[in-house]
C-alpha cells in the first residue's frame, strides 16, 4: 500500500468545508506537476493513491484543475489519469485531448462507454491510431465523424474510411473534410467523387492537380510521424525501466514478458524489457524501436532468439503502429526470418563492446 502521509484522509473526511478539500487537491496536483520529472516510482505511486482518493472527495471544479495539470505531463499517475478521463467532460476533456499517459486501450474503452462529448475530445488528439478511430466512427455521431476526418493526425483503416463515406453521402461538411485528407486510396477518392456535391468535386480536382503540397495539415502530420524525436518525447521510459528492473529482480524477464507488455499496449515497458534482454542499454533500445530502419532491432531480436510471431507483434505497437503499414511490417518479418542467428549474435557482441567502451 502506498504511503499516504501526504494527506490525513481521516481528518479530511470530517472536514465540513468543501473549499478546503478543493484547495488541498489543487495544491497536491500543483506540487506534483512541479516535481513530476524528478519523482521516484514510489513517489509517483504515492501521489497516484492520494489524488485518486482526493478526486472522490472534491467538486468537479477541483477535479478539472487536477486533470488540466496532469494533461500536459509526460510522467503522470496512471490511475488518476484514467479515473479523471472517464469523469464528466469538463474534467475529462484536457486529458482526452492531450495526455500521452492514456493508451489506446484506455481511449477505446472510454470511446465505447462514454458519450459523444468524450469521443469528440478524443477525436482532436494530435495522433490517433486506426484502432481508436475505428471505434470513434462506429460509435460517434456526425460531429465526431467530422472531427476524425478533419484530424490529419488520425490514421484511418479501410473500415473507418468506408464508414465515413457511408455517412458522407448526406453530409457535405464530412465530404469536404475527407476531400482535404491526403491518405485516401484511389478507390476511396473515386467513391467520394461519386457521392460528393459540386463544391467537393472541385476541391478533389484541385488536390489532384496540385499534389500533396496542397494539403499542409496532412503534410504536417506525415512529418511528425517521420520524426523520431516526436515519438521519444511521448513515453515515460524512466518509470518503465524501474518497473522492468523490479521484475528482473523478482520473477525475471523473458519473451513472455515482452508479449504481456505488448498486449497491454505498454510500449515503454516493451522497450525497457527489450533493452534488458538484449543488454544494449535503454537509450539504444528506445531509439532503435522508434525509427523506420528496423535492422538494429531485428539483429538484437534474433540474437535474443525471439520468435517471428513475437517480432510481428512488437511491430504493431508504439510508433511502428503508425509508421509501418501492414505490407511493410510483413516485409520486415520476412527479413527477420532470413537473418542467421550466429551472425546476429556476433553483431550484437560488437555493439555491446562499443557501448561498454
| Segments making up each domain of the chain, as ranges | 1-102, 103-218, 231-356
pLDDT tier, 174 (very low <50, low <70, confident <90, very high otherwise): very high
Residue 350 has pLDDT above 90, yes or no: no
For cell 534488458, the residue is: 276
Q: What is the pLDDT of residue 13?
A: 65
* Mean pLDDT across 271-276: 96
Query: Which of 69, 79, 132, 118 minimizes the C-alpha distance to 101?
Result: 79
Query: Which pLDDT tens digit goes with each residue over 21-36?
Result: 899 899 999 999 999 9
The neighbouring-strand residues paired with 154 are: 128
Place of cell 549474435: 345
* Best CA proximity match to 304, nearest among 240, 338, 254, 239: 254
Residue 230, classed as helix, strand or coil, is helix
* pLDDT of res. 204: 73
- Compute the distance between CA of residue 236 and CA of residue 233 in angstroms, rounded to an integer: 8
pLDDT at 352 over 70: yes
Q: What gap in Å lies between CA 135 and CA 116, rounded to an integer?
A: 12
pLDDT at 57 over 60: yes
Residue 271: what pLDDT? Answer: 97
* pLDDT for res 215: 45
pLDDT greater than 60 at residue 211: no
Calculate ∠ Cα 148-151-156, nearest 5°.
Answer: 60
pLDDT the model gives residue 329 = 93
Give the mean model confidence (pLDDT) for residues 40-64.
93
* CB contact at 8 A, 243 and 215: no
Which pLDDT belongs to residue 222? Answer: 53
Calpha distance 134→108 (Å, rounded): 9
Question: 123 near 154, Cβ under 8 Å?
Answer: yes
pLDDT at 1: 39
Report the share of the chain in percent with pLDDT over 90.
Answer: 69
Q: What does the H/E/C string look like for 76-99?
A: CCHHHHHHHHCCCHHHHHHHHHHC
| Alpha helices, DSSP H, located in 36-141 | 41-55, 60-71, 78-85, 89-98, 104-113, 116-123, 130-139
Q: How confident is the model at residue 147, as a pLDDT?
A: 97
Structure confidence by residue, pLDDT tens digits, 281-323: 999 999 999 988 999 999 999 999 999 999 999 999 999 998 8
Instruction: State the pLDDT confidence band at 8, using cuts at 50, 70 and 90.
Output: low
| CB-CB contact of 182 with 215 (8 Å) | yes
What is residue 291's DSSP assignment? S
- Percent of the residues in the chain that have a pLDDT greater than 70, as a whole number: 89
Asked if pLDDT for residue 184 goes beyond 90, the answer is no
Residues in the chain: 357
Q: What local confidence, expressed as pLDDT, does residue 129 receive? A: 93
Phi first, then psi, for residue 154 (nearest 5°) are -95, 120
d(CA 246, CA 271): 15
81-133 per-position pLDDT tens digit? 999 999 999 999 999 999 999 999 999 999 999 999 999 999 999 999 999 99
Mean pLDDT, the chain, integer? 89
Q: Which of 236, 226, 180 is nearest to 322 (CA)?
A: 226
Phi, psi of 128 (to 5 degrees): -135, 135
Residue 317 three-state SS = coil
Q: Which of 137-146, 200-209, 283-292, 313-322 has the highest mean pLDDT?
A: 137-146
**pLDDT tens-digit series, residues 215-257:** 445 545 555 555 788 888 889 999 999 999 999 999 999 999 9
* Residue 280 C-beta-side C-alpha neighbours within 13 Å: 27
Please state the rounded mean pLDDT for residues 175-202.
84
Amino acid at each position: 500500500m502506498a504511503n499516504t502521509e501526504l494527506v490525513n484522509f481521516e481528518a479530511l473526511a470530517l472536514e465540513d468545508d468543501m473549499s478546503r478539500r478543493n484547495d488541498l487537491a489543487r495544491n497536491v496536483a500543483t506540487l506534483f506537476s512541479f516535481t513530476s520529472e524528478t519523482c521516484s516510482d514510489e513517489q509517483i505511486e504515492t501521489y497516484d493513491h492520494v489524488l485518486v482518493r482526493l478526486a472522490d472527495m472534491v467538486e468537479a471544479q477541483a477535479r478539472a484543475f487536477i486533470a488540466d495539470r496532469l494533461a500536459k505531463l509526460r510522467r503522470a499517475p496512471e490511475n488518476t489519469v484514467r479515473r479523471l478521463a472517464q469523469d464528466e467532460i469538463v474534467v475529462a476533456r484536457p486529458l482526452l485531448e492531450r495526455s500521452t499517459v492514456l493508451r489506446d486501450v484506455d481511449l477505446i474503452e472510454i470511446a465505447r462507454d462514454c458519450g459523444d462529448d468524450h469521443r469528440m475530445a478524443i477525436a482532436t488528439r494530435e495522433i490517433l491510431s486506426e484502432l481508436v478511430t475505428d471505434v470513434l466512427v462506429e460509435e460517434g455521431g456526425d460531429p465526431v465523424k467530422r472531427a476524425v476526418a478533419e484530424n490529419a493526425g488520425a490514421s484511418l483503416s479501410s473500415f473507418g474510411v468506408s464508414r465515413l463515406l457511408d455517412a458522407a453521402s448526406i453530409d457535405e461538411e464530412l465530404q469536404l473534410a475527407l476531400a482535404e485528407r491526403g491518405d485516401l486510396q484511389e478507390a476511396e477518392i473515386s467513391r467520394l467523387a461519386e457521392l460528393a456535391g459540386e463544391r467537393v468535386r472541385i476541391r478533389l480536382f484541385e488536390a489532384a492537380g496540385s499534389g500533396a503540397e496542397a494539403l499542409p495539415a496532412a503534410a504536417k502530420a506525415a512529418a511528425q510521424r517521420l520524426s523520431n524525436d516526436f515519438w521519444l518525447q511521448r513515453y515515460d521510459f524512466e518509470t518503465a525501466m524501474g518497473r522492468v528492473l523490479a521484475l528482473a529482480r523478482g520473477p525475471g524477464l523473458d519473451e513472455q514478458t515482452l508479449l504481456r507488455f505488448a498486449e497491454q499496449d505498454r510500449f515503454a515497458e516493451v522497450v525497457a524489457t527489450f533493452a534488458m534482454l538484449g543488454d544494449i542499454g535503454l537509450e539504444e533500445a528506445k531509439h532503435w524501436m522508434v525509427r523506420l530502419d528496423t535492422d538494429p532491432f531485428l539483429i538484437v531480436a534474433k540474437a535474443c532468439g525471439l520468435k517471428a510471431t513475437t517480432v510481428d507483434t512488437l511491430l504493431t505497437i508504439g510508433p511502428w503502429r503508425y509508421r509501418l503499414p501492414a505490407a511493410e511490417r510483413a516485409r520486415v518479418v520476412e527479413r527477420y526470418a532470413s537473418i542467421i542467428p550466429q551472425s546476429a549474435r556476433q553483431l550484437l557482441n560488437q555493439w555491446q563492446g562499443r557501448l561498454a567502451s
